[in-house]
Amino acid sequence: MRARLLLAALGAGLIALPQFSGNYVLSLATLALYFAFTGQAWNVMMGFAGQLSLGHSLFVGLGAYAAAALFVKFGIGPWAGLWLAMAICVAAGAAIGLLAFRFGISGVYFALLTIAFAEFTRIGFDHIGWLGGPGGLFLKVGQRTSWDLADLRGTPAMFYYVMLALTAGAFALCAWLLKSRAGYYWQAIREDEDAARALGINTFRWKLLAVAISAAMTSLAGVFFAFYYNNLFPEQIFHISQSIEIILGPIVGGVGTLFGPILGAVLLTTLADSLTNLVAAMGLDIPGVKQVFYGVILLLVIMFLPNGIWPPIAKRLGLGRKD
Amino acid sequence: MSASLVANVVISGLLTGLVYGLMALGLSVIFGVVRVVNFAHGEMMTVAMYAAVLLFGAFKLDPILAALPVAAVFFVIGYALQAGLINPFITRPEHSQFILLVAVATIITNVMLMVFGPDAHSVQTDYQLDSWAIGQIIVDKSRVYAALCALGTTAGLFAFFRFSRTGTAIRACADNHLGALIVGLDVKHLYALTFGLGAACVAVAGCMMTLLVEVAPSVGPSYTLLGFVIVIVGGLGSMPGALLGGVLIGVSEAMAGLFIDPSAKSMFSFALLIVVLLFRPQGLLGRRT
Amino acid sequence: MALLEIRSLSKSFRGLRAVTRASFEVPEGGLAALIGPNGAGKTTIFNMAAGVYAPDAGEIVFAGNRIDGLRPDQVCAAGVGRTFQVVKPFAGMSVLDNVIVGALRAERRVPEARRLALRILEELNLGAKRDLPASSLTLPDRKRLEVARALATGPRLLLLDEVMAGLRPTECDQMVEVFRELNRDGLTILLIEHVMRAVMALAQQVVVLHHGEIIARGTPAEVVRDPAVLECYLGEETEV
C-alpha cells in the first residue's frame, strides 16, 4: 500500500545518502537521526503511556557515562558496554517509576520529579572525580579513515549508519508495540486509568514497563553520544536543556504517532542549522539564537497545532491514524 | 566549627530565605488561584534582576528603589501574559500548559543570553560590604535590607488578599471557579490580575536578589526549580507555606553549604524535593488538590 | 450455590456511615437488583465489590474466594466485570478498539481479541459503528459500549451501575432484552437501578438499601408491596 511504498522510498534514500553528500551534511543527518531516535524513545513514555518526563537527559547521561567508563577505564568496547548502560538506565527508570506510581504521582508533579532526579544526578556527577568530575571524561579520538565497528571508531559515514540503524530499529519496535497488547493497554491507561483497571489492566506494571523501555532505548543514545563526541561533561549531558531538546521533535512532529518524532527531529535540526548558518553568514556570533528558535517553534506548535504537524500531513497523504 | 559561625550561617540563610520565600510566594499564588504551574518563574525573576542591574548601571538607582517601577512593569506584563497567552490553556490538559511555559522559559533565557551574553553582572551598592555586629554575630546590611523588603511586600500581599474586595474575590475564584462565575465575578480578569501580582512579587524578589548574588542567564532555570522545591515543601497554594518553605530552604542550603560541599547544596534541595513529592506532595501547609 | 456473597459489609467515609452490615447473596446464573434512594450506599457496595476500596468490615466472597481488598484489575481477573455510573469510554479510540482492550483480558493475542470484540459488538448491536471514535457516540450507544467492553473481559458476574439512566423507554427495553439474553446464556448480573421498569422486567431478586442498611429483600412483587420500601423510596403511587 501507499504507506509501505513511501517507507521503502524513504529507506532507500536514507541508505544511499552518504554516497552523494559530504561530511557536513552527514553530521547534520546524524544529528537529526539522533534526535529522531531519542524523541522516539521519549515518545514511548509520553505518547504511549502518557507520562510526561522532562528528565530524559538522566538516561542519556547515565548510558553515556556507563559505556564511556567501561571503555576508558577497562578497555571494554561499546557493544558490551551498552548492556551495562541499558541495565543501569532500566534500574534508574524503574526506581523513578516505582516511587512515582506507588505514591500516585502523575502529571506535572511527575515531570517535576524527573527534573529533580536529573538535576540531582547532574550535580552529583560533578563530584565524582573518578569519572572526571566537572572537567569531563574523554575518550581517545581514534583514526577517522577506516571503520572499527567493534570500538565505534570511524568515519562520519559509519556513525551515520549506526544512528540510522538505531533509528530504524526504534521505529520498528514502536510500530510493533503500538499494534500489540501493550499498545492497546497503554492507550487505555492514557485515556482513562480507572476504566483501564476495571478491565483487568495492572496499570502500575504497564506504566513501569513503558518507563523501562523508554529508559533502555535512551541509554543507547547515550552510548552513541559518548563514542561520537568523545567527551562527556555532567553540566552538558545531564542538563535540562538536553531534556527539552529531546521532547521538541515528538511534540512538534506529533506525540504518540510513529512518524511524528522523526519528522519533528528532521525539521527542527535542519531549520536550526540553517538559522545558525544564516546568523553566521551575517557576520554575527550570537549564542542562544538556536534555543530561542526552538522555544518559538515549541510555543507556536503547542498553541496552534497541539497534536503536532504530522497528523494533518498524514491525513493529506491518506495514511492511517496511528501512522 | 564554632557556634557563632553556625549562627552566622543560619541567620544569613534565614534572610536569604525570606527573599526566596517572596519569589516562591508569586509561584504559589499563581498556582493556588489560576492553577497554572509557572515553569517560567525563575526566568521572570532573572529578567527582573537584569532590570535592576541595568537601572543601577544607568541611573545609579538602588535596587530597593528600583523594585517599585520594575514591579509595576512586571504586573502589566504578567497580566498580559495570562490574559493573552495562558488563558486559553486553562481548559487544556496539564501537559500542554506545562510545555507552553517551558517554551516561554526557553525563549526568555536565551533572549537574555543573546542580549547580555553569558557572563555574570552584578550591582555594587555603597553598603554592599557593610555589616552590623551583634556580639559575635555579623549580619550583612544588604541582606537585612533585602529581607525587610521581602517581608514588607509579603505582608502587603497578605493584607491585600485578606482585606480588600478584589483580594477576596480572587480567593473566591481559587476556592470555586464555577461558583465565582455564577456569582458574576469576572474570572478571566481576576486570573490575569493574580498572575500580574505573582509577577510583581517575582520582580521585587529579583531586585532584592541583586543585592545578594550576581545574575547570569543560566540562573533562570535554577531559580525556577528552587521555587518549585520551596513551594512544594511549603505547600502548593499556601501563602504562609511559601514563606516558611523559603526560610527552610534558605537555612538548609546555607547549612548544607557549610557542612557539606558548597557546590552540592542544590543537590540537597533536589533530594528534599524528591522526598516531599513522594511522601507529602501537599507540602507542610498546603491542601491536597 | 451463591456466586457472590456480601457478608456483613460496612464502610464509613470520614465518620459518615455509608454502608452498615449489609449482607446478601446472588446465586450463580441469577439476576439481582440493588435499589434505594440516592445516597443509600448502593454504588459504595459496588465499588467495594469491584475493588475500588476495601470495606472497613465484612467480606465479599466470589466463587468461594474472598475478593474484598483486591485491586480493581485483580477483581476483573477473578471474573467480575463492571460498568460505571458515568460512562468512561476511551474517547480517543474507536469503538472496536475500546472493546479490544477489554477482550485482551480474555485473549492474549490481538487477532483473537479482535475477533472476540467484533462478536460482542454484534451481540450489542454496535457492529456498524465499530470504526467510529468512541467520543462521537450518543449516550445510549456509549452505555452499550461500556457493557460490551466489560463483557469482553469474559466475566462470570457483571456489575451494572445505573445503566438505564438517561435512556428512553424503548432504548431501555432494548437493553433489558440484551441483559435477559446474556443471563439466559449463563451470565450472573447484579444491577443498581432507579428505573423501576427495568428492575421489574429483569430482576429475580431485589435488595433494597436505605441509609446504608438493607431494609427489604425478595422478589420484585414482594418488595414493591413492602411498606418500608414504599415509605422511603417508591411512594404510594408507584405503577409497575
Nearest to A231, CA basis, from A9, A103, A68: A68
Digit-coded pLDDT (tens) for B138-169: 888 888 888 888 889 989 988 888 888 888 88
Within 8 A of A179 by CB-CB distance, chain C residues are 110
Digit-coded pLDDT (tens) for C110-120: 999 999 999 99
Do both C146 and C163 map to the same domain? Answer: no
Do both C161 and C239 map to the same domain? Answer: yes
d(CA C57, CA C54): 9
Q: Which residue segment(s) compose the domain that B115 sits in?
A: 3-279
d(CA A285, CA C219): 86
d(CA C233, CA C227): 10
Q: Given a cut of 70, is residue C85 above it in pLDDT?
A: yes
Do the domain assignments include residue A258?
no
Do the domain assignments include residue B159?
yes
* Beta bridge mates, C13: C16
Neighbouring chains to C with at least 3 Cβ pairs closer than 8 Å: A
d(CA C225, CA C94): 45
Contact call for A302 and B103, based on CB within 8 A: yes
Do the domain assignments include residue B105?
yes
Contact call for A287 and B113, based on CB within 8 A: yes
Helix or strand (DSSP H, E) at A320? none
d(CA A61, CA A219): 8
Across B248-276, average pLDDT: 81
Phi, psi of C2 (to 5 degrees): -80, 130
Contact call for B96 and A306, based on CB within 8 A: yes
Residue C43 half-sphere exposure toward CB, CA atoms < 13 A: 11
Rounded to a whole number of angstroms, the distance from the CA of A202 to the nearest CA of chain C is 6
pLDDT score, position B126: 76
Contact call for B278 and A124, based on CB within 8 A: no
Contact call for B114 and A52, based on CB within 8 A: no
Do the domain assignments include residue A255?
no
- By the 10 Å C-beta count (0-12 exposed, 13-18 middle, 19+ buried), A316 is classed as exposed
Do the domain assignments include residue C234?
yes
Neighbours of B134 (CB within 10 A): 10
- Could you tell me which residues come within 8 angstroms of residue C192 by beta carbon, excluding any fewer than 6 positions away? C33, C34, C35, C42, C43, C46, C85, C160, C161, C162
pLDDT score, position B135: 78
Annotate A63-123 with three-state secondary structure: HHHHHHHHHHHHCCCHHHHHHHHHHHHHHHHHHHHHHHHHCCCCHHHHHHHHHHHHHHHHH
Which of C73, C100, C105, C161 is the best residue to mutate to test the A interface, defined by the most A CB atoms within 10 Å of its own CB? C73
What cell numbers appear for C214 in the block? 438493607
Q: Helix (H, G, I), strand (E, B), or coil: what is residue A135?
A: helix
What cell numbers appear for C157 in the block? 458476574
pLDDT score, position B186: 82
Give contacts of C 70-89 with A, CB under 8 A. 71-73, 76-77, 81-82, 84, 88-89
Greater pLDDT, A294 or B1? A294
pLDDT score, position A144: 62
Share of residues in chain A with pLDDT > 90 (%): 49
Contact call for A200 and C110, based on CB within 8 A: no
Do the domain assignments include residue B132?
yes
Nearest to C13, CA basis, from C61, C50, C52: C52
Which of A120, A251, A294 is the best residue to mutate to test the B interface, defined by the most B CB atoms within 10 Å of its own CB? A120
- Could you tell me which residues come within 8 angstroms of residue C118 by beta carbon, excluding any fewer than 6 positions away? C96, C127, C130
Among C73, C82, C109, whose Cβ lies nearest the Cβ of A202?
Answer: C73
The residue of chain C nearest to residue A204, with distances taken between CA atoms, is C73
Ordered alpha helix ranges (H), chain B: 3-34, 41-59, 63-80, 94-116, 141-163, 165-175, 177-182, 187-210, 219-234, 239-259, 265-279
Helix or strand (DSSP H, E) at A240? helix A240-253
Q: Give the CATH number for residue C208.
A: 3.40.50.300
Digit-coded pLDDT (tens) for A89-127: 999 999 999 988 888 777 888 888 898 899 889 988 988
Do the domain assignments include residue B285?
no
Whole-structure pTM over 0.80, yes or no? yes
The residue of chain A nearest to residue B267, with distances taken between CA atoms, is A120
Contact call for C93 and A188, based on CB within 8 A: yes
Across B5-30, average pLDDT: 89
Rounded to a whole number of angstroms, the distance from the CA of B196 to the nearest CA of chain A is 21
Do both C202 and C143 map to the same domain? Answer: no
Neighbours of A290 (CB within 10 A): 18
- In Å, how far from its chain's centre is CA B74? 13
Do the domain assignments include residue C84?
no
Share of residues in chain B with pLDDT > 90 (%): 22
Q: Give the CATH number for residue B121.
A: 1.10.3470
The DSSP-derived string for C88-140 is: ---TTSBHHHHHHHHHHHH-SSHHHHHHHHHHHHHHTT-GGGTTSBGGG--HH
- Could you tell me which residues come within 8 angstroms of residue C203 by beta carbon, excluding any fewer than 6 positions away? C31, C32, C33, C191, C220
Amino acid at A50: G
Do both C138 and C177 map to the same domain? Answer: no
Residue A195 half-sphere exposure toward CB, CA atoms < 13 A: 26
**Planar angle of CA C116, C121, C124, nearest 5 degrees:** 130
At B281, the pLDDT band (50, 70, 90 cuts) reads low
Rounded to a whole number of angstroms, the distance from the CA of B275 to the nearest CA of chain A is 10
Neighbours of A115 (CB within 10 A): 24
Distances in Å between the Cα of C34 and the Cα atoms of B8, C204, C214, C226 are 69, 11, 10, 15
Low-confidence winner among A157-171, A300-314, B89-103, C214-228 (lowest mean pLDDT):
B89-103
Distances in Å between the Cα of C64 and the Cα atoms of C27, C154, C207 are 12, 18, 21
C120 touches A: beta carbon within 8 Å: no
Q: Which residue segment(s) compose the domain that A116 sits in?
A: 21-238
Across A76-92, average pLDDT: 93
- Could you tell me which residues come within 8 angstroms of residue B17 by beta carbon, excluding any fewer than 6 positions away? B246, B247, B248, B249, B250, B251
Do both C121 and C171 map to the same domain? Answer: no
| Total domains in the fold of chain A | 1
Across C223-239, average pLDDT: 76
pLDDT score, position A323: 43
Beta strand spans in A186-317 (E): 231-232
Within 8 A of A244 by CB-CB distance, chain B residues are 102, 106
Do the domain assignments include residue A44?
yes
Q: Given a cut of 50, is residue B199 above it in pLDDT?
A: yes
| Total domains in the fold of chain B | 1
Digit-coded pLDDT (tens) for A237-290: 998 889 999 999 999 999 888 889 999 999 999 999 888 888 888 877 777 888
Neighbouring chains to A with at least 3 Cβ pairs closer than 8 Å: B, C
| Total domains in the fold of chain C | 2
Neighbours of B79 (CB within 10 A): 20
Angle between helices C169-184 and C139-152 (to 10 degrees): 10
Among C91, C104, C108, whose Cβ lies nearest the Cβ of A191?
Answer: C91
d(CA C176, CA C195): 11
ipTM of the complex model = 0.90
d(CA A207, CA A201): 10
Greater pLDDT, B108 or A154? B108
Contact A89, A216 (CB under 8 A): yes
pLDDT score, position A185: 95
pLDDT score, position B252: 86
At B289, the pLDDT band (50, 70, 90 cuts) reads very low
Mean pLDDT of chain B, nearest integer: 85
Do the domain assignments include residue B118?
yes
Handedness of CA C175, C181, C184, C189 (dihedral sign): negative
Contact B212, B52 (CB under 8 A): no
At A211, the pLDDT band (50, 70, 90 cuts) reads very high
Do the domain assignments include residue C143?
yes
A261-265, B83-87, C195-199: which has the highest mean pLDDT? A261-265
d(CA C132, CA B2): 74
Indicate the residue among C133, C154, C175 that finishes a domain.
C154
**Planar angle of CA A278, A284, A285, nearest 5 degrees:** 100
Greater pLDDT, B270 or C138? C138
Q: Which residue segment(s) compose the domain that C165 sits in?
A: 1-79+157-240
Contact A247, A56 (CB under 8 A): yes
Across C202-228, average pLDDT: 90
- At least 3 CB pairs under 8 A between chains A and C: yes
Do the domain assignments include residue A192?
yes
* Beta bridge mates, C11: C19
Q: Helix (H, G, I), strand (E, B), or coil: what is residue B196?
A: helix
Which of C74, C80, C104 is the best residue to mutate to test the A interface, defined by the most A CB atoms within 10 Å of its own CB? C104
β-strand C205-210 against C213-218: which pairing, if any? Answer: antiparallel
At C3, the pLDDT band (50, 70, 90 cuts) reads very high
What cell numbers appear for A283 in the block? 557576520
Nearest to A237, CA basis, from A67, A24, A29: A67
Mean pLDDT of chain C, nearest integer: 91
Q: Helix (H, G, I), strand (E, B), or coil: what is residue C14?
A: coil
Do the domain assignments include residue B286?
no
d(CA C210, CA C42): 9
The DSSP 8-state label assigned to residue A153 in this structure reads B
Q: Helix (H, G, I), strand (E, B), or coil: what is residue C218?
A: strand
Within 8 A of B232 by CB-CB distance, chain A residues are 112
Mean pLDDT of chain A, nearest integer: 88
d(CA A262, CA B140): 55
Amino acid at B9: V
d(CA A71, CA B89): 48
d(CA A82, CA A219): 8
d(CA A36, CA A258): 11
Contact A170, A42 (CB under 8 A): no
Across B178-183, average pLDDT: 78
pLDDT score, position B108: 92
d(CA A141, CA C213): 78
Across A37-53, average pLDDT: 89
Contact call for C73 and A192, based on CB within 8 A: no
Contact call for B225 and A116, based on CB within 8 A: yes
Q: Given a cut of 50, is residue A64 above it in pLDDT?
A: yes
pLDDT score, position C163: 92
Within 8 A of B106 by CB-CB distance, chain A residues are 241, 244, 291-292, 294-295, 298
Do the domain assignments include residue C13?
yes
Digit-coded pLDDT (tens) for C124-147: 889 999 999 999 999 989 999 999
Do both C36 and C68 map to the same domain? Answer: yes
At B286, the pLDDT band (50, 70, 90 cuts) reads low
Amino acid at A154: G
Contact B232, B283 (CB under 8 A): yes
Across C147-158, average pLDDT: 95
